[in-house]
Amino acid sequence: MAEAAVGVRYCGGCNPRFDRVAGVEALKAACPGAGFHTAEPGKAYDVLLSVGGCTACCADLAGLTGREVVMIRTAGDFSRAEAAINAVCAGWTRRPPAQA
């Protein structure tokens, strides 16, 4: 079975208020049906994560596309990201994953 394609774009990290990388690593462990990739322009993702270290969430998303985009501004936003990824994985019975 193919994996859900999750694109990850981090902000510059100038004012982090939480450990962004640890949060994404926890998502990887919690969502085994997903493949996490550094988001690249021109590729389609099932879920695109914009991982900011503060409420500005200034990650550059120019040229990036995802069926669902989740802005992570606080540590608590990772639960929304997990729900979005799991919903995409569950929804495969209704639609195919994005072609990356």
Q: Token pair 């981090």 is at which residue?
A: 10
Query: Could you tell me where the DSSP H helices lie in 31-75?
Result: none
The CA–CA distances, whole Å, from 69 to 13, 14, 88 equal 20, 22, 12
Whether 67 is in a domain gets the answer: yes
Whether 99 is in a domain gets the answer: no
The CA–CA distances, whole Å, from 49 to 1, 6, 59, 87 equal 22, 7, 10, 14
Mean pLDDT calculated for residue range 25-29: 95
Owning domain of residue 66: 4-92
The pLDDT tens digits for 30-41 are 998 899 999 999
Whether 69 is in a domain gets the answer: yes
**Strand 44-51 with 4-10, pairing:** parallel
Q: Based on the structure, what is the number of domains in the chain?
A: 1
Q: How many CB atoms neighbour CB 3 within 10 A?
A: 16
Whether 59 is in a domain gets the answer: yes
Whether 100 is in a domain gets the answer: no
Whether 79 is in a domain gets the answer: yes
Tokens of 12: 């510059």
Residue 90 — very low, low, confident or very high, per pLDDT cuts 50/70/90? confident
Distance CA 15, CA 41 (A): 25
Secondary structure (3-state) at 73: coil
Whether 87 is in a domain gets the answer: yes
Whether 44 is in a domain gets the answer: yes
Residue 93 — very low, low, confident or very high, per pLDDT cuts 50/70/90? very low
